[in-house]
């Protein structure tokens, strides 16, 4: 993936942070290095044994009663800029 000024601006907007032009220029090579490393990780071939393929590593879901109201879980409304 090619990292450029527009990508950094988009990431900053989605992250709700303001960056100065000098900060944008600083982030370009840093993000490029990060993306290159992830690309290398994606290209690795990993072998799994049959046991690992069929093993359920997730725990069983259990329903529990709680005293918390649904209001506790509500977050603030987000206003998106266009």
Q: pTM for this one?
A: 0.51
Assess if residue 29 is contained within a domain. yes
Count of domains observed in the chain: 1
Assess if residue 56 is contained within a domain. no
CATH number at residue 16: 1.10.20
Assess if residue 36 is contained within a domain. yes
Cβ-based neighbours of 58, under 8 Å, separated by 6 or more: none
Q: Which domain holds residue 7?
A: 1-44
pLDDT by residue for the chain (82 residues), tens only, comes to 789 999 999 999 999 999 999 999 999 999 999 999 999 998 887 776 666 666 666 778 888 887 776 666 667 777 877 6
């Amino acid at each position: 993936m090619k990292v450029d000024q527009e990508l950094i601006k988009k990431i900053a907007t989605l992250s709700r942070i303001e960056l100065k032009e000098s900060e944008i220029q600083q982030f370009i090579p840093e993000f490029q290095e990060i993306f290159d490393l992830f690309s290398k990780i994606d290209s690795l071939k990993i072998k799994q044994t049959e046991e690992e393929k069929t093993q359920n590593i997730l725990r069983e879901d259990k329903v529990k009663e709680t005293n918390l109201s649904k209001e506790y879980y509500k977050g603030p409304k987000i206003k998106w800029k266009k």
